[in-house]
Amino acid sequence: MANKRKADSLRSRKLVCSALFLAIAMLLPFLTGQIPEIGKALSPMHIPALLCGFMCGWPWGAAVGFVAPLLRSVVFGMPVMFPTAVAMAFELAVYGGMTGFLYHALPRKPWAVYLTLVLSMIAGRLVWGGAQAALAGLTGSAFTLSLFLAGAVTNAVPGIILQLALIPVLVMAMERTGLSLNQ
């Protein structure tokens, strides 16, 4: 009975934490959205999806990552649902899912946070490119390698730098304070 209560308590804490990350994903773009070019470049919705995976585990991170851009598109009209929010949903689901899976599988060392983050970011961008290509195919348009490189790398450099600087610090701080639920 005590183990069931403990499992229920952990599940409830993960649900609440995931809801908080979803709320942050909904609101964070307002801080950068006043200047659309900066907002796009910093990729503010990526941060909560990545953090949710680290803190709550892969299913929760994947769910928050998938839902965030779609819900934000429905509620606020940004990002545009098709193709942007749809492609982002798959990208952010991979971010949240991979960070949760890899961080659970690797030793709890600082290098593992960086390795997890980099591998998740690469996988997410590849999935984004695949989703963009599939969606472009549905509309009869083209999604070229140069469009992929521009969207996944060149235009994303400020967001990549921000994520590499901010997320490991936050993850390690949450680990030190015992806030991580990814067990």
pTM assigned to the model: 0.94
Domain boundaries, the chain: 2-176
Q: 29-43, 101-115, 152-166 — which is least confidently predicted?
A: 29-43
| 77 backbone φψ class: left, alpha, beta (φ>0; ψ -120 to 50) | left
Cα–Cα distance, 123 to 129 (Å, whole number): 10
Structure tokens at 110: 């600082």
Q: What was the pLDDT predicted at 79?
A: 93
Q: Which CATH architecture has domain 2-176?
A: Orthogonal Bundle (1.10)
pLDDT above 90 for 39: no
Higher pLDDT, 33 or 42: 42
